């Protein structure tokens, strides 16, 4: 992505984060942040822009990848020569002498991404677009079959963060996002079997901490299905017990999608299955050992 980058042990410009160059090269091949920035609406005056949207996103994400999750960390990283080269989307060795954006500028980036109509959707769409480009680059077309796993998980929150809430299931104050990940032929190690590579997250939605695991699931499935079929011709779904509810299963049935999920305990189903269930010899007692 920048042919002026060379590794020299005698160079006086020392970095503590040489690995960020590998992140930049991988991102450059995927075209992830350029594609996102293209769809982001930037309200700033063009003649007063020093840092482009793609460079600001790259700086923020690479900082988090290096373990620097606080916005204040970018003021320190902005002086690191390798980090400068990785974040700037410009060629030539002069980029190592350019200072990157400060913390206030990064705060304004968050305002742009969350305050302008359609910008959050552009960021979310970047997930599926990167997987789609990877799949097409490896085979020139969509894969035949893929499986989508949908799940939620807690992000523990400290302090009074907007949207955080106490979740009785996790017994913590959290955010409770939904995520969808796609695997070719239902196996995240499918390339070991000689299949095409194309695994990764294709959709995500941040939710308040106190919501039920299936909250907003119908809308989430609609968007996920659109993304998945841009990558695979046939898509199956794997669901946790929290999602095997009427509204979600009806939505998948209406789309003629195959799905599998664990059902919660159901007395009517237990009664129907009772005559077919027995404990073979050698199994532990049903009520356990004393």
The CATH number of whichever domain residue 214 belongs to comes to: 3.90.350.10
- Residue 286 vs residues 13, 172, 264, 270, 277: alpha-carbon distances, Å: 68, 33, 19, 15, 12
Is residue 154 domain-shared with residue 270, that is, in the same domain? yes
Pairing of strands 258-261, 232-239: parallel
Model pLDDT, residue 150? 94
The verdict on 266 and 228 lying in the same domain is yes
> Do residues 146 and 110 both lie within one domain?
no
Least Cα distance to 248 among 234, 260, 235, 230 occurs for 260
- Name the nearest CA neighbour of 83 among 103, 112, 61: 61
Contact by Cβ (8 Å): 146, 135: no
- The answer to the question of residue 283 being in a domain is no
Is 89 within the bounds of a domain? yes
Q: Are residues 54 and 160 in the same domain?
A: no
Q: Hey, what are 180's tokens? A: 């969808």
Residues across the chain: 290
Q: Are residues 37 and 148 in the same domain?
A: no
Looking at the structure, do residues 196 and 251 belong to the same domain, yes or no? yes
Write out pLDDT tens, residues 240-270: 888 988 889 999 999 999 999 988 878 888 8
The pLDDT-based confidence of 109 (bands split at 50, 70, 90) is very high
Domain count, the chain: 2
Please tell me which residue, 265 or 11, carries the higher pLDDT value.
265
The answer as to whether 26 is a domain residue is yes
My answer on whether 245 and 149 are in the same domain is yes
Most confident of 6-20, 32-46, 188-202: 32-46
CA distances from 290 to 52, 278, 279, 280, 281 (A): 68, 21, 18, 20, 19
Tell whether 153 is covered by a domain.
Answer: yes
Element (H, E) at 224: helix 217-229
Instruction: Please give the Cα distance from 225 to 221 (Å, whole number).
Output: 6
Residue 105 lies in a domain: yes
pLDDT digits (tens, 9 = 90+) for 29-49: 888 899 899 999 999 988 888
Is the pLDDT assigned to residue 235 strictly greater than 60? yes
- Indicate if 249 and 149 belong to the same structural domain: yes
**Strand pairing of 178-184 and 172-175?**
unpaired
Position 190 scores a pLDDT of 58
- Write the secondary structure of 169-220 as one string of H (helix), E (strand) and C (coil): CCCEEEECCEEEEEEECCCCCHHHHCCCCCCEEEEEECCCCCCCCCCCHHHH
- Considering the domain architecture, whether residues 95 and 159 belong to the same structural domain is answered as no
Verify that 58 and 154 share a domain, yes or no.
no
Residue 37 domain boundaries: 20-115
What are 107's two structure tokens? 């705060």
In a domain, 196, yes or no: yes
> What kind and span of H or E run contains 148?
strand 143-152
């Amino acid at each position: 992505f920048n042919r002026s980058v060379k590794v020299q042990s005698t160079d006086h410009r020392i970095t503590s984060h040489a690995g960020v160059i590998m992140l930049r090269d991988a991102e450059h091949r995927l075209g992830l942040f350029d594609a996102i920035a293209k769809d982001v609406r930037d309200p700033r005056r063009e003649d007063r822009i020093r840092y482009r949207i793609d460079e600001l996103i790259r700086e923020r994400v690479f900082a988090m990848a290096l373990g620097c999750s606080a916005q204040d960390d970018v003021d320190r990283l902005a002086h690191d020569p390798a980090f400068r080269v990785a974040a700037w989307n410009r060629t030539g060795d002069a980029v190592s002498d350019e200072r990157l954006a400060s913390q206030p500028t990064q705060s304004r980036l968050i305002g742009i991404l969350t305050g302008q109509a359609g910008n959050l959707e552009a960021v979310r769409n970047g997930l599926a677009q990167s997987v789609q480009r990877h799949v097409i680059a490896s085979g020139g077309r969509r894969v035949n079959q893929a499986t989508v796993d949908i799940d939620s998980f807690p992000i523990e929150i400290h302090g009074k963060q907007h949207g955080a809430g106490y979740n009785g299931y996790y017994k913590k104050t959290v955010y409770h996002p939904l995520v969808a990940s796609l695997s070719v032929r239902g196996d995240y190690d499918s390339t070991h079997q000689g299949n095409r590579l194309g695994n990764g997250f294709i959709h995500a939605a941040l939710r308040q901490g106190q919501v039920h695991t299936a909250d907003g699931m119908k809308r989430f499935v609609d968007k996920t299905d659109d993304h998945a079929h841009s990558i695979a011709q046939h898509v199956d779904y794997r669901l946790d017990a929290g999602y095997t509810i009427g509204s979600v299963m009806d939505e998948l049935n209406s789309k003629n999608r195959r799905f599998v999920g664990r059902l919660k305990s159901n007395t009517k189903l237990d009664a129907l299955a009772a005559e077919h269930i027995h404990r073979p010899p050698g199994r532990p007692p049903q009520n356990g050992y004393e």
